[in-house]
A = this chain, B = another copy of it.
Amino acid sequence: MTAHTLRYYERVGLIQPVGRARNGHRRYSEADEAWLHFLHCMRAANMPIRDMQRYAELREKGDATSLERRKLLEDHQATIEAQIAELQKAHDLLTYKIANYKKIEERIGVGRPQLIEQEEESQLATAN
């Protein structure tokens, strides 16, 4: 997380105005750090800034927003699950295609380059 990003997050309300040293430089408390860690983790999981803003806003409102906050987290957890499923599909497809390339490379090795294009086609045809 760069300094630029920290200031950006403060600007857009993801973090409350943070404490300053006497010279005006920002000093992040441990609570700030914990919160930033959470934000970082959610961003890494592709939570949109908008949603994080919403969550931050609710958090500042306090007690009464627990249910809504939980719903927000549950929703994002569901999208994470969907993302993992997509990634897994792609991963499987790549495993298949990579194995196919290895086969093709073997054939080149033993001198039958004329079959390569055909193999490539069949790879495309069956890739799913």
Name A's B-contacting residues (CB within 8 A): 30-31, 34-35, 37-38, 41-42, 44-45, 59, 62-63, 66-67, 69-70, 73-74, 76-77, 80-81, 83-84, 86-91, 93-95, 97-98, 101-102, 104-105, 108, 113, 116-117, 120-121, 124-125, 127-128
**A87 and B90 in contact, given A35-B124, A66-B104, A73-B101 (Cβ under 8 angstroms):** no
Q: Report A102 CB to chain B, min CB distance, Å.
A: 7
Who on chain B is nearest to A81 by CB?
A: B91
Q: Report A44 CB to chain B, min CB distance, Å.
A: 5
> Are A84's CB and B77's CB within 8 A?
no
> Are B80's CB and A94's CB within 8 A?
yes
